[in-house]
Amino acid sequence: MANKNGLWFAYIASFLTPFTLLTSGIVAIIYSGYQLNKGTDEVAYSHYYTIIRSFFLFFTFFVVLGVTAATITGMVAGAEYWVHSNVLHTVLNILPFIGAAIALAAIVAWFAKIVKGMKQLSVNQAVEM
């Protein structure tokens, strides 16, 4: 397998993405794309491709989650302003916790996917695409 250390670097950088405010994830996908462009074997190709694919999948998920949360919060706040309902006020206070729970579940799923890929890399196995 060509350049296994490079794959480990990309996986670790991808794993650290939530803690580095996307910086390490961007470095990981740029590095992975560079390695794919250079040409590599099938096992390394599947891992680099999976790193890039999972980054953009979860990035898109978090953008949609943020836009949805902001839109719903704005709508409920506007309705609560005009209606003055205790139910709407309670919903407005609960919405950030619901968004945080969904985001944490997505981060755990991301970590699980990265760890699964690392385990497959350690036994020199390609990732199923």
pLDDT digits (tens, 9 = 90+) for 4-17: 889 999 999 999 99
pLDDT at 18: 87
For residues 36 and 20, give the distance between their C-alpha atoms in angstroms, rounded to a whole number.
24
Integer Cα distance of 32 and 50 in angstroms: 9
pLDDT digits (tens, 9 = 90+) for 97-106: 999 999 999 9
Average of pLDDT values for 88-103? 92
The answer to whether the beta carbons of residues 86 and 2 sit under 8 Å apart is: no
Mean pLDDT (whole number) for 59-88 = 92
Q: pTM of the predicted model, to two decimals?
A: 0.83
